[in-house]
Chains A and B, each alone.
Chain A
Amino acid sequence: MSLRVMLASLRRHSLMPALVLLQVAFACAILCNVFFLAWQRLEPMLAPSGLDADNLIVVDNLAAMGRSFTVAETEAGERALRAVPGVRAASAGFALPMVDSASILLNLRGPTQVAVGVSAFFGKGLVQSLGLKMLGGRDFVASEYRPWGIGASNGDDAWNTGAAQPIIITQALADKLFGRANPLGQMLIDPEDKDGHGYQVIGVVKHMLRNQLGLAIDGRADYTVLLARSIGNTAMLNYAVRVDPSMREAAMQGVKKAIERQFAPLMSGGVQPRVEFYADKRDEALKSSRATLWLLLGLVLTIAIVTLVGIMGLTGFWVQRRTRQIGIRRALGARRADILRYFLLENVLIVGAGIALGMLLAYVGNLMLMHYYELSHLPLAYLPMGAAVMLAMGQLGVWGPARRAAAVPPVVATRSV
């Protein structure tokens, strides 16, 4: 059977195919965007943390009200944590992984003029305490750290050192900023910081998930750096404590007690320190994303079912209307397989046209949403995904009616209805 005959038949009775086409177009457009939204939620969930997630305890909510913690107090805390049985490493830090009470964001520009916004972690010996995997270069050495704190004074401004400061970046950042060039020794500047002297890359770690999960999308999950800052006088701080896997629970109890002992006398105003495993914190932080993901999954299923039912209903009716034609074709020698193939192919044609329109709609819809909301560009890779689902739904929906059509006996041709 030639395509021309098929198209002629579609043109003759255009309402039903037009409705199927329209339905597929809308469903395809919505699905592409929903897949995209779902991926934006999924990306931070799937991104590797790059650290020893199961054995890392993060201490948050240490805040001094109306005064600040001194270097001595911070270091005493560090020593107390290291003395806890089962603790392998402990560092005082600021804006550490999965800490939501504070974050440090800065801009970096490389020699290729590519500029990115990154999250930064501050603290001494974080490569060890977080359990990061170094791919090249070296860790900071003790003399490179400069004291830093928030809401407190630390003598000279730690940011303004008169020379480039060492920085450790992730592999993803190295790829983005330097392309194929060796990142080690490369210079980075902060376009917003007019008096700064920039940063020199001294090390690269494999992964380091940024602590604002909302920003960990569109391939930016690993846009994180370590700067050589030790915690000086500060009104706020965190600790990262890495523990022995075989002593997780005991070490947790020990860490809680040590924090209570060290900081209860220093804190006021009813603020309670939070001591939690990194993995639990991440799980908690992703709760609303997970809820949204279920909602989107429900939407995808509903769309699929609605479309399936729609296609089944319409084609069923359409096949019924053409019973006589089918009988004639059978009488003229068409085999059952021919009839089946005819309807399946016809469906591919209609659904294909719908998909083409739907892709266009998806793209236009995304552009519109981008215009009004902070949403990134719909990557073209999502279009075939929606298309594949629609094609599958189309074939699934037409299968039953096509089988029924193929079962029409040739003798129908001789009857009057």
Chain B
Amino acid sequence: MVGYSFELALQGMRRFPRTSALAMLTVAIGLAASMTTLTLLHTLSADPLPGLSQHLYLVWVDTVRAKPTTYTTLDGTGVVDYKRLRMADVEALLAARRAVRQTAVADMFARVEGGDAGHGNDETILAATSDFIPMFGVALRDGRSWTAAEDAARTPVAVIDSELARSLFSTERAVGKVLRIKGHAVRVIGVSAPYAPQPHFFALDQWSFSGSERERVFMPYSAALDVGAEPRRSDGCDADTAKDKTLFSVDVARCAWLGYWVQLDTPQAVADYRIYLNNYLQQQKDLASFGRSQQAQLLDVPQWLTLQNVIPDNVRLNVWLAGSFLLLCMVNVTGLLAAKFMRRSAEVGIRRALGAPRRAVMLQHMIEAGAVCVLGGVLAWPLTLLGLALLRMQGQGFTDLARLDVSMFGALFMLAMLVGMLVGFLPAWQVSMVQPGLQVKSA
């Protein structure tokens, strides 16, 4: 019976091709609008480091020796605070080694040159400590990461990504070669695959999403400071910092410029670390006189991304807008199909009089509605790609990452089926209620 219903449904679709095409097109536009906005949201809310990020926590203790300078404007804008630490605290926390792994993270800037001087680029350097590379899942292609001993000894070593290796040394086999940063020699000890988790959660002060920017040099922050790389901004400085060192340059000893991340594998470890942090803060006796809120924070990655409002509001707003538009399209198609189906009430009446059960009539029309929507979904695919291409053309940094992946393609198909069911139900039910006798009589 299903096969027969299928045949009838396809025949029905071909009967008024204009109406069918119109319904298909409407479904396609609604689906494409929804899928375009959903894909962007999906891209932006994806886990930056699947498998690793659930164990990562950002550590924050507010130890800047200055009066708090918060000024909240009625326009709802305030100074963004990236929860960075002063170097003294980073060193103390690193020395305690209370977590499975721990690392400082900061983006620093310098001109990086290859073997022959003059050939180089202005690079964003990811300055960290030895645990960063295993902890944040940087894939090494060659060589090794640096060790805690090299951190302590301030050894000028670096891991660079394959792209920079090719650009500076024309080969990916760059281990053992020497970089020059501000005239200082830095030995390459490892070559990594390009590393660009989205969002750029470990240094949101630089950018949150980018298809083009990334750090191509990883090195110990101690050595990075020695060779003259500079952090660009801080979250606040001690009161005794010279004023001209607070805005564009950072007094590395007095300003909060290093992010600090730990890896904690169990809830117990998280709870223990919290206690440890609060104790650590209690020990800073001289802090009390500055009137800052004495609170330690331990934030997991989702909390951190929410706090920083990483996904722009209008991305979600557009999903709502497109969703309601899809709803409108669905009501519209329901109407088109109802009109189309009811036009054939005479022949349905005959079929019913000849013994076709309601179920069969209903099934036939549900299939027809489903087919219209699935074909609409097929049509929506290129339309979605077009929508995403339009999005990427806007070039707002985060938009150029929007791509249709397999899961979103599956979601499109499921959505089309669901829309078909919802849209087809009412008209199919209506047409299955046609009385057999009546139609035979009047025909």
Contact = CB atoms under 8 A, between A and B. Distances in A.
B339 A313 contact: yes
A163 to B, nearest CB: 22
Contact of B321 (A30, A150, A215): A30
A81 interface: no
A236 interface: yes
B338 A19 contact: yes
A116 interface: yes
A67 B396 CA distance: 33
A66 B316 CA distance: 41
Given A19-B331, A33-B321, A316 B339 contact: yes
B335 A19 contact: yes
A313 B74 contact: no
Contact of B244 (A67, A117, A220, A321): A67
Nearest to A372: B316
A66 B249 contact: yes
B99 interface: no
B336 interface: yes
B248 A30 contact: no
Select the residue from B316, B336, B339 with max chain A CB neighbours within 10 A. B339
A185 B112 CA distance: 58
B353 to A, nearest CB: 17
Given A23-B335, A30-B328, A299-B325, A313 B122 contact: no
Given A66-B245, A310-B335, A369-B320, A117 B74 contact: yes
Given A105-B75, A306-B332, A416-B442, A65 B317 contact: no
B22 A313 contact: yes
Interface in A369-384: 369, 372-375
A106 interface: yes
Nearest to B328: A26
Nearest to B330: A26
A303 interface: yes
Interface in B63-84: 71-77
Contacts of A417: 442
A34 B318 CA distance: 10
A345 interface: no
Interface string B303-344: 000000000010011001100110111011011101100110
B396 A310 contact: no
B430 interface: yes
A307 interface: yes
Contacts of A117: 73-76
Interface string B240-251: 000111111100
A313 B335 contact: yes
B335 A16 contact: yes
Contacts of A374: 76, 313
A215 B76 CA distance: 10
Contacts of B76: 117, 374
Nearest to B29: A302
A313 B332 CA distance: 9
A407 B188 CA distance: 87
Q: Is the interface of A mostly helix, strand, loop or mixed?
A: helix
Nearest to B316: A373
A27 B328 contact: yes
B435 interface: no
B394 interface: yes
B319 to A, nearest CB: 11
B339 A105 contact: no
Nearest to A30: B324
A150 B249 CA distance: 13
A375 B243 contact: no
Contacts of B328: 23, 26-27, 30, 303, 306-307
A153 B33 CA distance: 54
Contact of A288 (B75, B336, B396): B396
A373 B317 contact: yes
A33 B72 CA distance: 29
Nearest to A149: B243
A389 to B, nearest CB: 14
B440 to A, nearest CB: 13
A314 interface: yes
B206 interface: no
A89 to B, nearest CB: 28
Interface string B116-154: 000000100000000000000000000000000000000
Select the residue from A34, A67, A302, A318 with max chain B CB neighbours within 10 A. A302
B332 A235 contact: no
A306 B321 CA distance: 16
Given A303-B325, A309-B22, A151 B73 contact: no
Nearest to B317: A373
Contact of A153 (B77, B243, B334, B336): B243
B39 interface: no
A19 B329 CA distance: 12
B187 to A, nearest CB: 26
B162 interface: no
A409 interface: no
A306 B30 CA distance: 10
Interface in A303-339: 303, 306-307, 309-310, 313-314, 316-318, 320-321
Interface in B370-411: 394, 396
Interface of B: 19, 22, 26, 29, 33, 71-77, 122, 243-249, 313, 316-317, 320-321, 324-325, 327-329, 331-332, 334-336, 338-339, 342-343, 394, 396, 426, 430, 442
22 contacts: A15-B426, A19-B331, A26-B327, A30-B325, A30-B328, A64-B248, A66-B249, A106-B71, A117-B73, A150-B247, A235-B248, A236-B247, A302-B29, A303-B328, A306-B26, A306-B329, A307-B328, A314-B335, A316-B339, A372-B316, A373-B317, A375-B317
Interface of A: 15-16, 19-20, 22-23, 26-27, 29-30, 33-34, 37, 63-68, 105-107, 115-117, 150-153, 192, 212, 215, 220, 235-236, 269-270, 288, 291, 299, 302-303, 306-307, 309-310, 313-314, 316-318, 320-321, 365, 369, 372-375, 416-417
4 interchain residue pairs of minimum CB distance: A151-B247, A117-B74, A117-B75, A317-B339
